């Protein structure tokens, strides 16, 4: 029984040959080369963004393949136009990440570690919540925010942006805490340790990796948010950088190098976290969906 | 499993403490869930209910000063469904969703199968692939606007340089090509997500099964057809369902690339809902469109759940 597809007729077939030839150094090298080509195609737009951000300003940008004479005027105008917006984005994203963890972690612990009536409902709502289109939430929040005075405020944006982070964090952290042996928590109870203490000093320290993953993604969700910024702010005082970028490309004679410089700066958190926290990113990428 | 602080508690005090804790136990337990429950009620429960009631009310730009939004029954739905733009938006949503998901899935599956083979740097390359997915969507929209720019964009310049086109294509500004361009960008955006999930699904298939299949003469396409696909089915259905749910509500990308134009060529239910509420200040019709979107998402989830339970019974 040998493979027919991998072999030209005539070569002496043996059980071990195909396995060897399939993993020969040449083949592996070819695969690496092919992989690099695929990734280069996929990441070309990102390279092109960086390239354009380093081109001299003006609305008729000459496309050069390499930024051989980098010009930082795009960054200068990006910082002066969007500096304030970047600070707003940072405050909102950090706030939303903290809020997500504070609200999601105890809930995840409860869902994972003890049965109470209503926990099924909470879990169901969390799963459904991810299906609700953002525009539906924005629609209703605008009228409510208008009444309670949360339009154009940082807390208003933090609360709204956490709509992405909280359900995601509950699912990620719960999945981790479920794998934590219930016996240990029970033993702690027998020793007179209440739920609050068991949560705080036993479960929380060992769950730190899932908290970091949830925190990173909650931060990125809020940093990337555009819809809530677009609908729940009306002035220029509170304006996250995503909305600043949108208004930038909306102007008629677009200064592409400043636009791309802003885009590069707005991408920095995602790139930095991908490099610095790769294993957490990988955990979050699969964890949130399949669980 | 004792903690040092517990040991410090005098033994004589333990029984009353424990009873008090048992009494407060239910309150403590609900205390863990309460913040999340309140948040979910306010930021998911309330919007759904509010959106439902809003869809039966007449909102105008004056509503936010006067506070008056009279009940109008089904008038908003009647207006939405009678609007020719609705039919256009519904068709666009269907095309956008189906073609995007087909493209993302096929390319994503190809790349996932490719990355499963062992070769140097495969892990590094795979993690770099995640980048488009992690960038803010509005950043991707800005970058692609520049790439697709009619006169100086790199796409038209390259196509011209290799002689495929003689005149630049107005990708985002012609109603013939705008939807194609938007779908193309959305496929690019969705590939990383598909690769990640499909790759992790592929990793879960035991290699012995492939070895057994190979002994039975199944390699290449037939091993994919008879080993990979059946075992990957649960992952595939999750990927497709999540794809539908994410794609029908895409808003950032379309607003950033075309704003729904030109001449409604890229208008979807989601962008139309935004437009009705926040441009026209007709929140009633905006809410009605939002509800249409929720119903579509629910329909797909029901189909998914039924298909899943049938597969469970058969399997």
Residues A127 and A271 in one domain: yes
Q: How confident is the model at residue B262 (pLDDT cuts 50, 70, 90)?
A: very high
Instruction: Based on the fold, state whether residues A265 and A222 are members of the same structural domain.
Output: yes
Q: Say whether both A100 and A151 belong to one domain.
A: yes
Question: Shortest CB distance from A140 goes to which of B9, B14, B50?
Answer: B50
> Do A283 and A213 form a contact (C-beta atoms < 8 A)?
yes
Nearby residues of B255 by Cβ (< 8 Å), 6 or more positions away: A226, A230, A246, B141, B271, B274
**Do residue A8 and residue A98 come from a single domain?**
no
Question: B248: Cβ–Cβ under 8 A, 6 or more apart, which residues?
Answer: A133, B93, B97, B268, B269, B270, B293, B296, B297
Which pLDDT value is given to residue A13? 43
Decide if A61 is inside a domain: no
The pLDDT, as a whole number, for residue B118 is 81
Any CB–CB contact under 8 A between B291 and chain A? Answer: yes
Predicted confidence (pLDDT) per residue in B73-117, tens digit? 899 999 999 999 999 999 999 999 999 999 999 999 999 999 988
DSSP state of A131: T
Reported as a single tens digit per residue, the pLDDT across A118-177 is 788 888 888 888 889 999 999 999 999 999 999 999 999 999 999 999 999 999 999 888
Which of chain B's residues have a Cβ under 8 Å away from the Cβ of A135? 249, 251, 270, 273-274, 277, 286, 290, 293
- The residues near B222 (Cβ < 8 Å, ≥ 6 apart) are B213
Burial class, A109, CB count within 10 angstroms (exposed 0-12 / middle 13-18 / buried 19+): buried
- Taking the whole predicted model, whether its pTM rises above 0.90 is answered as no
Domain of residue A126, CATH code: 1.10.3720.10
A35 & A157 share domain = no
Range of the domain at A137: 74-290
Residues A49 and A80 in one domain: no
pLDDT on residue A257: 87
Q: Is the pLDDT of residue B72 over 80?
A: yes
* pLDDT value at B46 more than 90: yes
The pLDDT of residue A182 is 81
User: How many structural domains comprise chain A?
Assistant: 2
Asked whether this complex has an ipTM greater than 0.95, the answer is no
Token reading at A39: 């990734």
Quickly count: other Cβ atoms within 10 Å of residue B22's Cβ: 10
pLDDT score for B12: 41
Residue A81 has pLDDT above 70, yes or no: yes
Give the range with max mean pLDDT: A14-28, A171-185, A215-229, B10-24: A215-229
Residues 6 or more apart whose Cβ sits within 8 Å of residue A9: none
Q: What are B71's strand-pairing partners?
A: B57
Please check whether residue B186 is in contact with residue B246, taking contact to mean a CB–CB distance below 8 angstroms.
no
Residues A219, A157 share a domain = yes
Q: Do residue A20 and residue A161 come from a single domain? A: no
Residue B127 contacts A, CB cutoff 8 Å: yes
Shortest alpha-carbon distance between residue A185 and chain B (Å): 9
The percentage of residues in chain A with a pLDDT greater than 90, rounded to a whole number, is: 48
When pLDDT is cut at 50, 70 and 90, the band that residue A76 belongs to is: very high
pLDDT at A21: 58
Mutation test of the interface with chain B: which of A66, A135, A223, A229, choosing the one with the most B Cβ atoms within 10 A? A135
* B277: chain A residues, CB-CB within 8 Å: 135, 138-139, 142, 231
- Kindly state the average pLDDT of the residues B113-128: 88
Task: Output the pLDDT for position B22.
Answer: 44
- pLDDT of A30 strictly over 60: yes
CA atoms of B26 and B86, how far apart (whole Å): 50
A238 to chain B, closest Cα gap in Å: 18
Residue A122 is assigned to a structural domain of this protein: yes
Domains in chain B, CATH or no CATH each: 4-40 (no CATH), 76-314 (1.10.3720.10)
B96 lies within 8 A of chain A by CB: no
The pLDDT of residue B98: 96
In a domain, A4, yes or no: yes
pLDDT in tens, A53-72: 988 865 555 667 788 778 88
């Amino acid at each position: 029984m040998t493979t027919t597809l991998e072999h030209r007729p005539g070569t002496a077939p043996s059980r071990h040959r195909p396995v060897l030839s399939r993993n020969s150094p040449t083949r592996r090298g070819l695969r690496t080369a092919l992989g690099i080509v695929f990734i280069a195609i996929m990441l070309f737009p990102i390279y092109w963004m960086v390239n354009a951000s380093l081109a001299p300003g003006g609305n008729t940008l000459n496309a050069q393949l390499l930024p051989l004479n980098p010009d930082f005027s795009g960054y200068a105008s990006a910082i002066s136009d969007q500096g304030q917006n970047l600070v707003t984005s940072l405050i909102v994203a950090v706030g939303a990440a903290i809020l997500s963890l504070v609200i999601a972690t105890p809930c995840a612990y409860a869902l994972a570690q003890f049965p109470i009536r209503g926990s099924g409902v909470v879990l169901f709502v969390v799963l459904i919540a991810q299906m609700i289109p953002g525009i539906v939430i924005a629609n209703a929040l605008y009228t409510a925010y208008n009444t309670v005075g949360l339009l154009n405020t940082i807390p208003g944006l933090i609360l709204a942006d956490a709509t992405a982070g909280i359900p995601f964090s509950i699912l990620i952290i719960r999945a981790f805490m479920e794998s934590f042996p219930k016996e240990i928590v029970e033993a702690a109870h027998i020793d007179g340790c209440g739920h609050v203490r068991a949560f705080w000093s036993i479960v929380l320290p060992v769950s730190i990796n899932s908290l970091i993953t949830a925190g990173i993604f909650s931060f990125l969700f809020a940093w990337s948010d555009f819809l809530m910024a677009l609908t729940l702010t009306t002035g220029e005082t509170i304006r996250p950088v995503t909305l600043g970028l949108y208004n930038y490309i909306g102007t008629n004679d677009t200064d592409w190098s400043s636009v791309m410089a802003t885009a590069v700066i707005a991408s920095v958190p995602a790139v930095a976290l991908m490099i610095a926290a790769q294993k957490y990113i990988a955990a979050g990428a699969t964890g949130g969906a399949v669980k | 499993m004792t903690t040092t602080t517990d040991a410090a508690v005098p033994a004589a005090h333990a029984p009353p403490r424990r009873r008090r804790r048992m009494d407060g136990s239910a309150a403590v337990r609900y205390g863990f869930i309460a913040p999340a429950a309140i948040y979910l009620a306010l930021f998911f429960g309330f919007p759904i209910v509010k959106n439902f009631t809003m869809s039966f009310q007449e909102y105008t730009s004056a509503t936010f000063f006067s506070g008056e939004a009279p009940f109008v029954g089904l008038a908003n739905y009647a207006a939405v469904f009678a609007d020719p733009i609705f039919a256009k938006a519904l068709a666009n949503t269907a095309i956008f969703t189906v073609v995007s998901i087909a493209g993302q899935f096929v390319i994503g599956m190809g790349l996932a199968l490719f990355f499963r083979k062992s070769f140097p740097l495969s892990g590094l390359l795979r993690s770099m692939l995640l980048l488009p997915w992690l960038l803010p969507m509005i950043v991707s929209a800005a970058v692609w606007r520049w790439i697709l720019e009619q006169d100086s964009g790199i796409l038209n310049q390259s196509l011209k340089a290799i002689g495929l086109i003689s005149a630049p294509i107005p990708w985002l500004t012609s109603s013939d090509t705008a939807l194609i361009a938007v779908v193309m960008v959305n496929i690019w955006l969705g590939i990383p997500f598909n690769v990640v999930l499909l790759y992790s699904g592929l990793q879960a298939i035991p290699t012995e099964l492939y070895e057994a299949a190979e002994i039975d003469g199944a390699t290449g396409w037939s091993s994919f057809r008879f080993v990979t696909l059946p075992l990957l089915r649960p992952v595939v259905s999750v990927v497709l369902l999540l794809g539908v749910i994410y794609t029908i509500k895409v808003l950032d990308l379309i607003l950033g690339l075309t704003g729904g134009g030109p001449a409604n060529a890229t208008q979807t239910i989601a962008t139309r809902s935004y437009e009705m509420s926040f441009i026209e200040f007709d929140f009633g019709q905006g809410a009605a469109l939002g509800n249409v979107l929720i119903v579509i998402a629910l329909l797909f989830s029901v189909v998914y759940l039924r298909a899943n339970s049938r597969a469970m019974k058969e399997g």
